[in-house]
Amino acid sequence: MLQVQEGQCGLCAHFAEGHADSLVMRIRSSHEAKEDVIEDCGHPKHAPLQLKVTAISKCDGFEQANAQSARTPFQAQTR
């Protein structure tokens, strides 16, 4: 298990944006992720790149996610 720190993708609102599931919610609440977890980055600045990131990846577009919620596809599109 990897320790996910503030500023890393696993705790970012854009990690798995639009389809966050119980796995992403566990990462956000426990700050731990398996080494093989890879998800989409939904950051608008990176959308054309269609990035796949690990929970410990990071960039300057970090936005803290709420550990108890995830954006729905509708919310992700209207942001």
**pLDDT per residue over 3-33, tens digit each?**
999 999 999 999 998 887 899 999 999 999 9
- Residue 55: closest CA among 43, 45, 44, 40: 40
Share of the chain above pLDDT 70, in %: 84
Q: What is the pTM of this model?
A: 0.80
CA–CA gap between residue 39 and residue 10 (Å, rounded): 9
Mean of all residue pLDDT scores within the chain: 86
